[in-house]
Amino acid sequence: MLSYLHAFHAGNFADVQKHASLTLALSMMQVKPSGIACFDTHAGSAVYDLSGERARKTGEADAGVQALWRSRGRLASPDWARLLDVLAGLNSGEGRLERYPGSPVWFRQALRPADTLTAFELHPAEHDQLSGWAADQRVRVLRQDGLAGLLKQLPPRQPRLLVLIDPSYEIKSEYSDVAATLEKAWQKCRHGVFLVWYPILPGGLQEALKDAVEAGSVAKVLCSEVCLRQPPERGMAGSGVLVVNPPWGFGERLATMMEAAAEPLGTDHTVRWLVPEA
């Protein structure tokens, strides 16, 4: 089933948390010079038009990245600066943001010569848009299932690994599929840093993912969750990211970022170990 299009949701509060986690992990890993193999299992498009019909239909970015952008002068954490610079580089004026980068763009803007990105996207139109954008020999775009594709590519050539797993969870079984893939990928590359995004839903479907990860053998799993102070009656009440093998101090720095963004986003953030070090 490929009915999900991220253009309706790009730049919402969940994207802000996910992309803040991703850019922080990247920059903390890049303190060391050795190359990083990056994988984006569910990449979506490259750049989203926040003035376009799809984004305007839901207006989700208004309470997400647009609210963050309006408050950028008050975001005390220096870790927001890199992310804000990328947004400034993509947008011309000082007013509302017109363009918002998807995860492959967040990855690519940080790639160094020895780093690579492999992006999987199954939707034909999204895949074509992404392929057209990725004119960079360090970036590969593959129209393959992202979970199976990732497992085929591990272990990578480079000494280090960063994976973003960000499905649309249109099918209930995706929660357990993601947990099973994480387990297998970690068995192949135990030092890898894995970021797994999930929605926090009123029915608690996401607990299946967390329970399966807790029951498995993957160790050092941090769990970051932002919850909306005024959740809608239907739909996402919050957004979560599991981070396997986070760089040292990652949780504290992410917490500082999300606390600084709590007022503009109308969210509360918690971070805890779902599975501590073995």
**For ligand SAM, which stretch binds (CB under 6 A), given 25-33, 161-169, 230-238, 258-266?**
161-169
- When binding is defined by CB under 6 A, the residue of 60, 115, 166, 225 that contacts ligand SAM is 166
The Cβ of residue 203 has, within 10 Å, a number of other Cβ atoms equal to 6
Contact call for residue 21 and ligand SAM (CB under 6 A): no
DSSP helix/strand/coil, 271: strand
Of 80 and 197, nearer to ligand SAM (C-beta) is: 197
Contact call for residue 177 and ligand SAM (CB under 6 A): no
Task: Tell me the per-residue interface mask from 132 to 151 with ligand SAM, x by CB under 6 A, - otherwise.
Answer: -------------xx-----
Of 16 and 63, nearer to ligand SAM (C-beta) is: 16
Contact call for residue 17 and ligand SAM (CB under 6 A): no
Task: Tell me the per-residue interface mask from 93 to 132 with ligand SAM, x by CB under 6 A, - otherwise.
Answer: ---------xx----------------xxxx--x------
CB of 20 to ligand SAM, least distance (A): 11
Number of H helices and E strands in the chain, helices first, is: 11, 10
Contact call for residue 11 and ligand SAM (CB under 6 A): no
Contact call for residue 84 and ligand SAM (CB under 6 A): no
CB of 100 to ligand SAM, least distance (A): 9
What gap in Å lies between CA 50 and CA 67, rounded to an integer? 13
What gap in Å lies between CA 220 and CA 137, rounded to an integer? 33
Q: Measuring CA to CA, which residue among 12, 8, 55, 5 is closest to residue 267?
A: 12
What gap in Å lies between CA 11 and CA 147, rounded to an integer? 24
Catalytic residues: 166
Percentages of the chain per state (helix, strand, coil), in multiples of 5 = 40, 20, 35
**For ligand SAM, which stretch binds (CB under 6 A), given 42-50, 68-76, 155-163, 252-260?**
42-50
Q: 58 vs 5, 7, 54, 153, 182, CA distance in Å?
A: 12, 10, 7, 36, 32
DSSP helix/strand/coil, 233: coil
Contact call for residue 6 and ligand SAM (CB under 6 A): yes
- When binding is defined by CB under 6 A, the residue of 58, 168, 220, 256 that contacts ligand SAM is 168
Give per-residue burial for 138-147: e unless 16+ CB within 10 Å, then b: bbebbebebb
Pairing of strands 160-165, 193-200: parallel
- Residues in contact with ligand SAM by CB under 6 A are 2, 4, 6, 18, 42-44, 102-103, 120-123, 126, 145-146, 166-168
